[in-house]
Amino acid sequence: MKKSLLVLLSILFVFAAGCSVVEDVTNTIEYADEAAQYAQVITDFYNTAPSLVEQATTDPASRQELETKLKNVKQEIQDFNQLTPPENVQEYHDVIVGHNKQLETVIDTYLDNVKDGKIDPKLLENADLLQSIEDISKAVNDIQNIGK
């Protein structure tokens, strides 16, 4: 009887440990998917913003569209920063959050400029902005490689 109970407890322990590993992998994959979607939003913003900014210098409707887009991207940044990553990707998440703070600063500056009617296309040519977006993409790629 004791042997049967011991074998049963051993099996349950191994099963429970296996479930934890499966859960960790699943959480990492889910987080990697969210991070990839986020990186795509940021990249799309960076790729489309210059032409929208150029149009916004002369077109009030484009100015409103730019302001909306900036607010939406800022919300995406804040939402991503609030995610709770799995422990094995916490370091990467922290890197992304650090770059997000830089992006948020640029967005806040641009929102202030839009409200004041001062739209400067050169602000988006900021090398730090591009570097932040590239670093976010690299961190997301690293996360996706962990999830595989």
From the centroid of its chain, how far is CA 63? Answer: 25
Let me know if 115 is exposed, middle or buried by CB neighbors in 10 A (0-12, 13-18, 19+). Answer: exposed
- Quote the domain boundaries for residue 114: 2-146
Residue 21: the pLDDT is 56
Q: How much is the pTM?
A: 0.77
Residue 77: the pLDDT is 96
Complete DSSP assignment for 95-133: HHHHHHHHHHHHHHHHHHHHHTT---GGGGG-HHHHHHH
Let me know if 48 is exposed, middle or buried by CB neighbors in 10 A (0-12, 13-18, 19+). Answer: exposed
Residue 81: the pLDDT is 97
39: domain CATH number is: 1.20.1440
Residue 19: the pLDDT is 47
Q: How many domains does the chain have?
A: 1
pLDDT mean values, one per 10 residues, the chain (148 residues): 46 46 77 92 88 88 92 96 94 94 90 85 71 84 76
Complete DSSP assignment for 22-52: HHHHHHHHHHHHHHHHHHHHHHHHHHHHHHH
Residue 116: the pLDDT is 85
